[in-house]
Amino acid sequence: MIVVSYFFFPLLLLFFTLLHYFYSSFSRSMPHLTYHLPVLTWLLLLVASSVERRRSGS
């Protein structure tokens, strides 16, 4: 499933761009959220990699 990967990586790049934008805006207004964002990012990456692995497996 090469097409899925080529479609998946720009979405991931867009997601990280949005995450960086929200991260910088959140860190100014609500500093306590900055501690949770790396954990949420790691969890989302874990889910995305498992979905990608399940798609390529079938």
pLDDT over 80 at 47, yes or no:
yes
Torsion, Cα 29 44 41 5, to 10 degrees, reads -120
CB 12 within 8 A of CB 48: yes
Domain extents in the chain: 2-57
Cα angle for residues 52, 47, 37 (degrees, 5° grid): 135
Q: Which is more confident, 45 or 30?
A: 45
pTM greater than the 0.75 cutoff: no
Cβ neighbours of residue 57 under 8 Å, at least 6 residues apart?
A: none
